[in-house]
Amino acid sequence: MIRKFILIVVIGVVVAGSGYALLREHSLRALTSLFDERLQSGDYLAAIAAAGKLKEGGVTSPELDDKVSAAARLFLADEAFKKAKQAAGEKRFNDAGAILRASDALSDPSFKYYEEAKKLYDEAEALAAGVAHKTAVTINSLENQAAAEKGKRAAAEKETEKLSGSLKEREAALSETTKKLEDSKKETEAKQSALVVEQARAQALMLQVANESKQKFFTELKTYRDLAQKGKEQVDNALTEINAKRDVTALVYLSQGKILFEEAKSKTTDLRSNRTIATYQSAVDNLVSALAQLLEASKQFRNAIVYIDEQGGVDFTNSTSKGKAALASGTDLLKAVSAVIAANP
């Protein structure tokens, strides 16, 4: 820590004595204004890029970190909104609803497509509910038909038992009853055949609902895997910068990666607790573990930056070694999750 403090003091002295201080201050103010403009206009990717330039210039504050975090979430919300629109256009209404729920598109009024996202979500949920309701109504109707047919047969049998009287009356009654029974039997057989067809249709609808639930689950899992993958790329970039002794840009990459990891971890934990299909529980557990390892890698690389000018030292070597081990472990776990996703297109 003492070496880092001395490094910071020396850098401060050099910067204070440089001739471009005023130009640098003007440039940072312009970048700050550009960042705010891009964030307000909804160009979130450009806002994040401007924030990165600010951090490269040494601008740090809790307010800026909050804005960068907001820009990252809104960028992900923008991506989710596009995917949800595509899913709705393909009539995958459960997927559309799941994608929107997993993002901030519905919860953050500052999102540029907030009203459109709410409308799309309501429409998708209504259409998905309609499919489920239609299946339930069909099954209930089939059960009622079966009960009615059973009642008709019971009534016919009871009528037969009441027949009495003379032989002719009995024969006539028997003949009439036999005819009724034959007609009833034919009608019952016809209705039974129709019932079998309806039951098959209901079963097909139930299988469709189950398949849509599975697709909804994998849509969420893939979304959070993608967040983790993007965060890992930021950590990879940070490691390259650390090796080149560029501490400021390395910290920017690590900060961006941490935002993505923490967002993905929160969403994945919620998926694990509330919507995970038992068969794929291990895949969700692997993603949770991968995010924990990638966060640990980010932490170790941050520690290494403190000793970036002493790359042969024990402290730097230990931190980078631990960071690389955690990064490798997280990468392997992500590959395992990706394999499960690829096997369930």
User: 30 CB contacts (<8 Å, ≥6 apart)?
Assistant: none
7 band by pLDDT with thresholds 50, 70 and 90: very low
> What pLDDT is recorded for position 278?
92
> What pLDDT is recorded for position 155?
66
pLDDT digits (tens, 9 = 90+) for 311-329: 889 999 999 999 999 999 9
Helical residues (DSSP H) of 21-92, grouped into ranges: 21-41, 44-56, 62-89
> What pLDDT is recorded for position 146?
43
Q: Rounded to an integer, what distance in angstroms lies between the CA atom of residue 35 and that of residue 44?
A: 9
Please state the rounded mean pLDDT for residues 318-342: 96
Q: How far is C-alpha 345 from the geometric centre of its chain's CA atoms?
A: 15
Q: Rounded to an integer, what distance in angstroms lies between the CA atom of residue 154 and that of residue 45?
A: 72
Q: Rounded to an integer, what distance in angstroms lies between the CA atom of residue 170 and that of residue 166?
A: 6
Q: Rounded to an integer, what distance in angstroms lies between the CA atom of residue 177 and that of residue 15?
A: 109
Q: Rounded to an integer, what distance in angstroms lies between the CA atom of residue 295 and that of residue 265?
A: 10
171 band by pLDDT with thresholds 50, 70 and 90: low
> What pLDDT is recorded for position 327?
97
Tokens of 76: 């992900």
pLDDT digits (tens, 9 = 90+) for 75-108: 888 899 889 999 999 999 999 999 989 988 888 8
The residue that leads in pLDDT, 89 or 206, is 89
Please state the rounded mean pLDDT for residues 194-223: 78
Where is average pLDDT lowest: 28-37, 127-136, 137-146?
Answer: 137-146
Where is average pLDDT lowest: 125-134, 139-148, 199-208?
Answer: 139-148
Q: Rounded to an integer, what distance in angstroms lies between the CA atom of residue 76 and that of residue 89?
A: 20
12 band by pLDDT with thresholds 50, 70 and 90: very low
> What pLDDT is recorded for position 24?
53
28, 32, 34, 39 alpha-carbon torsion, rounded to 10°: 150
DSSP class of 104: S
